Amino acid sequence: MEDMMKYSFHYCWHFKLADCFPVRKAMDSFRDQNGRYFYEPEYQENDWQEVSLPHTFNDADLFRDRIEDAGSGQKRTVSFYRKWFTLKPEEKGKKVLIEFEGIRQTCYLYINGHMAGYLESGVAPFGFDLTNWINYENPNLIAVVTDNTSTRNLDVCTAETPNAPDVEPGSYLFPITEAADVPADRVGVNYFWNCNDFNPSIGGLSKNVWLHVVNRLYLTLPLYSNLRTKGLYVYGSRYDIPEKSAQIHAVAEVRNETGTDKSVRLDIRIRDAEGNVAAAFSSETVCVPSVTLPAPELSIIPKDAYRKEGTHYVPVDDEDAVKETETDSLMVSVVKACAGAADLRFWAIDDPYLYSVEADLVCDEEVVDSQTIITGFRKVTYDCSKGLMINDMPVWLTGYAQRSANEWAAVGAAVDWLKDYDAKLIRESNANHIRWMHVAACPADIRACDRRGIVCTQPAGDKERENFGRQWDQRVELMRDVIVYFRNNPSIVFWEVGNNAVNKKHMREMRLLKGVLDPNGGRMIGCRTINTKEVVEEAEYTGTMLNRHAGSFQAKLMPITETEYLREEAPRRVWDDFTPPDYDYDNLWLGKAGKKQPGGDYHDLTSEDLVLRAASGYSEFFNDRIGGASGKDLYSATAALCWTDSAQHGRQAFSENARMSGRVDAVRVKKQVFDVFRVMQSDEPQLKIVGHWNYPQEDGISYRYAEKEFDGHYWVKNGKYAYRNPKDKTVYVIGSYSIKKMELFINGVLAGSCDKPNSTFVFAFPHIDITQSGRIEAVGYGYDGKEAVRDLIETVGEPAQLKLTLHTGRNGLMADGADVAYADVEVLDEEGRLCPLCYDRIDFDLDGPAQFLGGYNSGKFAGYGRDNSVIHKNHVYAECGNNRVFIRSAMSAGKICLKAVMKPSEVSDGTMHAAKELRAEVSLESVPVKLSALKESAAVLEQLPRLEYAAQKPEGKPAFLPIPEADKQKYVPELHEYCKILINGDEPDTHSIRSVYEDYGVWGPVLYILERLVQRDPDRLSYTYDPDVKRLVVKSGGHEILAETGRTHLLVDGEENLMNGEPRIQEGTFYMEISALIPWIKGLTAAYDDGIRAYRIKTDN
């Protein structure tokens, strides 16, 4: 018998953008001249495009438009794919399974004109059994219709199709607005995570696709939807870290469709990175009965999830009235093997060692099927006095929260080697943790984290609240699929149930699900913002947001992770308030604590401002970590929002084309804040001078900025100007935890010394004259008094040369129509130094078999009087002296030449311009690829860089051992007892304005609390606030309650009720003793919870 064959299914696809919705309308609209549908073999294609995968159909408009709260404005619609393939003669009669590593959002799959199945949940990998429709002797047609419609800024999107024979797949829709024209009997339940703001809609077949051809006696795949199988599960137990040994287990599912019972054995070989066999063992021989599978169902959505009312299927919203989520595999036998393994090299953050686990299914001493799992073995535990431990070594997890779409400007969904480069950059910033947000990260991103030593928090599907009924069961079913597929990935340590709190019943259901599917993988399941003991007791870890809901009672039981602090935004291009051309961030600011809205900017931050916010945010969790300076001993992990500037919901809705919260921009060019995190997250001495050293001389025009005044909505220019004082600027240097003192030198002369940093990491040097050109140097000293590290910035000359640097995957640019190369373009002076104030246009010309995709610039977009987007254009603008552009390979090989030119400019605005035309050129030969419809996966050239492991495992050490002298010197205890305000367990958005417990009362931004209460129950209360006289009036239960600045009493029906202090304006909003007001509102009870420092407000409904 032949072994299982895994084919790359990436080539020879034909694509058509329908630009029409819903699915039925799109299919009807694209019938050919003979009336045939696109999925019929006889269909006549007209103007279809040949593409290779991964393929993103909306890369041309991703990041093109001005950002909105709803996210980027990329196209969301239906598209079609067709592909012909022919099996080998020796494969006649075998099973044929197709695997998709994910899709956004739906897949309706046809083979040879027949629907083989569909999936609409749009996150986890999935598969279909094609066997019943395969033509073994002639070409076969695969046809896929997919749509990426989602909520936000559309009228309607796809909903879940009830699994009933009289319902057409794709016919149920979710009306988003009143303008949606959806028949009443076709209104369906949407997937809560199918939203453009939290889960950017990257359209097309944008992930890997594989075809598996296997014998009728075979190992199953980990694709519960729609195959109902769980595949191979590999894990370790009885770890002895000092002895480098563990018990290794392999649990395989075997299915026998041969027609006769078979006796089989599972042979396991564990190979190290060099290919040597590190261990080998076998299972006992077991009898696997033959089974006859029923015809594959189109969907595995539970049939009892809906009931029929007339012609309409409606969801059964009583969770107890439906069966538990199915986890059993369909007609399989389980074969187990285990043995001790010695001299193992355990997977760790600083040594992410991976093994190949080869599983052979043996029948009659012949290998009939085989699979290889790439995994690592590690021991994960928690000790409340030491924190999270990997291989008995305490670790401090620090990194970023990233939207799982992980999209790139100009490219869309990245090829796998770019994802690996992304992970490499994350590690370069000294991060070791990614919290993937809202939906599961794709397999390629998780594999990259396995390779690079990045611990992952992996969700299934959520947006930002608890669901009930059918929407909750959708979440459980997706979590099942996610755990099944990813339970062999060593980087995943946390399964995230939700992006907000769930109740005890739901938390328990998810924990039990994990116990069935991943009982031994060394992973924990938990949820963000769970805060009551009854829920926490059902979890294995808990997450917080902005240090809310963390309490010592949680830390004693389980790890606490901060899931998304540092929500502020700043574009890469704006250095600080002393840099031309604007000497300011030119925007339309809504003001402190302003309400986010279209056409306004929620933040007014330069890159320097964002640096300071980053340090302030990180220091809070660093000091609150287990063993940290605060003594609170709370946190094991933390994640700043976000890793990249992204197409998710953004709040700079006047000035920008992306969410600007990244450490790198949308094409992964480093922002200033990247180096700040590199320093703060380093356990070794590091430092970074913030800014540049090309500040202009004073000439009467430089340092002039436009004054602004608040018009009631925005801060707008008033026609007046003022001047910054460049001889009195504070220069900031970021130093790592182990830096005791910093000295600053300008042109060799000591300009200042600092041994009392702000926010643990910020060494500030005030009153610096920044017009002193030359060189500025910072020298950092350790706690041994010796120089530890230094950083230097020089004044750079005018632009004199362009430099292009090409980057490809390991084997070059593959001529397959999907591979990508990128070119870094830098504007340099005569000495080869980057010109930090150059923003001029750079034009490109590409010659050869490739497509120029262009690049990205912040602050440039289509519409609203600008129309200066660079997405898929032949030019970009230098941004702080550099940028990045992309080319996509064609399907034929040849020489490719990329030329760049920057023309001289006579503009006099204080920035840097070339005096003459600057040119650069690079070239490469793309690598020929035989584009066959079925390409053996082993024959696909590996584009990921080779992993270079040290000859010996590095000596591990606990991360960030406390330095008592540093803690005493740097840590500043909080002046207030900050607390949270919870309404029925949920925390209202207070725009980052914190509440405090002081003077025996809870004080906070009361207007946000009242607004949430009104949203929950408009009949409970009403309120008005007059900002001119700073007076709040609340009406509830027949009472009128008045609070105003200057008065220490509440007036209740005119009678004075003493408060502990008078209201005030703080951070731009009305701030008062909330605990004095709440008891007067009908139907509310409240109490202060010391365990998590929270004021709990409960409603009576």
**Structure token digits, residue 818:** 């999907």
pLDDT band, residue 939 (cuts 50/70/90):
low
**Does a structural domain hold residue 1041?**
yes
Report the length, in residues, of the chain.
1101
Query: Does 918 share its domain with 1001?
Result: no
Contact (Cβ atoms closer than 8 angstroms) between residue 348 and residue 956: yes
The position carrying tokens 């992309």 is 886
Q: How far apart are CA 902 and CA 835, in angstroms?
A: 13
Alpha carbon distance 200, 60 (integer Å): 14
Whether residue 440 is contained in a domain is answered as no
Is 985 found in the same domain as 919? no
Report whether 1051 contacts 1061 (CB < 8 A). Answer: no
Residues linked to residue 235 through DSSP beta bridges, in sequence order? 249
Nearest Cα to Cα of residue 105 among 128, 126, 129: 126
Distance, CA of 148 to CA of 168 (rounded, Å): 18
What are the DSSP calls for 577-645, one per residue? TTSTTTSS--S-B--TTPPP-TT-BS----HHHHHHHHHHHHHHHHHHBTT-TTS---BSEEEEE-SB-
Q: Residue 1061: which of 1000, 975, 994, 982 has the closest Cα?
A: 1000
pLDDT given at position 809? 96
Q: Does 1095 lie in the same domain as 992?
A: yes
The mean per-residue pLDDT over the stretch 728-734 comes to 99
Same domain, yes or no: 816 and 918: yes
- Mean pLDDT across 886-912: 96
Q: Give the pLDDT band of residue 1 (cuts 50, 70, 90).
A: very low
Q: List, for residues 654-672, the tens digit of each pLDDT value.
A: 999 999 999 999 999 999 9
In a domain, 381, yes or no: no
Sign for the pseudo-dihedral over CA of 624, 627, 628, 631: positive
C-alpha–C-alpha distance, residues 370 and 88, integer Å: 19
In the chain, the percentage of residues whose pLDDT exceeds 70 is: 99
1084 in Cβ contact with 1100 (< 8 Å): yes
Residue 938 has pLDDT above 70, yes or no: no
Nearest-CA neighbor of 738 among 789, 675, 678, 690?
789
Strands of 114-119's sheet in order across? 49-51, 13-17, 78-85, 140-147, 107-111, 114-119
Same domain, 822 and 868: yes
Residue pair 853/595 in contact (Cβ under 8 Å)? The answer is no
CATH of the domain at 850: 2.60.40.10
| Shared domain check, 1071 and 988 | yes
CATH code (residue 982): 3.30.457.10
The number of beta carbons lying within 10 Å of the beta carbon of residue 464 is 17
Rounded to whole angstroms, how far apart are CA atoms 735 and 175?
52
Indicate whether 672 belongs to any domain: no
929 and 1011 both lie in a single domain: no
Angle at Cα 46 formed by Cα 43 and Cα 50, nearest 5°?
A: 95
Q: CA end-to-end span of the chain, whole Å?
A: 66
Beta strands at 387-390 and 380-383: parallel, antiparallel or unpaired: antiparallel
Phi, psi of 186 (to 5 degrees): -125, 15
- When pLDDT is averaged across residues 1003-1021 and rounded to a whole number, the result is 95
Contact 881, 825 (CB under 8 A): no
Residue that is last in its domain, among 888, 914, 939 = 939
**In 907-1036, where does DSSP find H-type helix?**
964-970, 1006-1016
Residue with tokens 């790139």: 408
Q: What is the pLDDT of residue 677?
A: 99
Confidence (pLDDT) at 849: 98
State the pLDDT confidence band at 744, using cuts at 50, 70 and 90. very high
Q: Taking the CA atoms of the chain, what radius of gyration do you get in angstroms?
A: 30
992 and 1044 both lie in a single domain: yes
Mean pLDDT of 139-160: 97
CB atoms within 10 A of CB 957: 11
Please give the average per-residue pLDDT across 584-591, as a whole number.
96
Same domain, 1003 and 933: no
- Model confidence at 3, pLDDT cuts 50, 70, 90, reads low
| 113 burial type by CB count under 10 A (0-12 exposed, 13-18 middle, 19+ buried) | middle
Yes or no: say if 877 and 842 are a contact pair by the CB < 8 Å rule: yes
> To 10 degrees, the CA torsion angle through 1070, 1075, 1080, 1085?
130
90, burial (CB in 10 Å: exposed 0-12, middle 13-18, buried 19+): exposed
pLDDT > 90 in the chain, percent? 89
User: How far, in Å, CA of 146 to CA of 124, rounded?
Assistant: 15
Q: Is the confidence at residue 552, as pLDDT, over 90?
A: no
Residue 1065's alpha-carbon distances to 90, 593, 998, 1072, in angstroms, are 79, 12, 16, 9
What CA–CA distances, in Å, run from 1042 to 293, 1023, 1025, 1060? 71, 10, 10, 15
Q: To 10 degrees, the CA torsion angle through 179, 176, 172, 221?
A: 150
Tokens of 235: 């894990």
> 985 and 922 in one domain?
no
Query: Any long-range contacts for 591-598 (C-beta under 8 Å, 24+ apart)?
Result: 591/710, 591/714, 591/715, 591/1068, 592/1067, 592/1068, 593/991, 593/993, 593/1005, 593/1067, 593/1068, 593/1069, 594/1068, 596/69, 596/651, 596/653, 597/69, 597/653, 598/68, 598/69, 598/653
**Cα–Cα distances in Å, from 851 out to 61, 624, 1028?**
16, 50, 58
Q: How many domains does the chain have?
A: 2
Domain that holds residue 881: 801-939
HSE, CB side, 13 Å, CA atoms: give it for residue 989.
Answer: 10
Q: Are residues 927 and 1011 in the same domain?
A: no
**Mean pLDDT of the region 1028-1033:** 95
Lowest-confidence region among 271-285, 540-554, 750-764, 1076-1090: 540-554
Cα three-residue angle 229-231-232, rounded to 5 degrees: 160
Give per-residue pLDDT as tens, 480-504: 999 999 999 999 999 999 999 999 9
595 pLDDT exceeds 80? no
Q: Which residues contact residue 178 at a Cβ distance below 8 angstroms, ignoring those fewer than 6 apart?
A: none
898: its two tokens: 């990329």
Residue 1025 placed within a domain: yes
Average pLDDT over the chain reads 96
Confidence (pLDDT) at 1015: 93
Q: Which of 887, 920, 939 is the last residue of a domain?
A: 939
Mean pLDDT of 27-50: 98
Residue at which a domain ends, from 913, 939, 965: 939
Considering the domain boundaries, does residue 989 fall inside one? yes
**423 in a structural domain:** no
Cβ(356)–Cβ(372) under 8 Å? yes
In a domain, 493, yes or no: no
* CA-CA-CA-CA torsion sign (219, 225, 230, 236): positive
Average pLDDT of span 1017-1041: 95
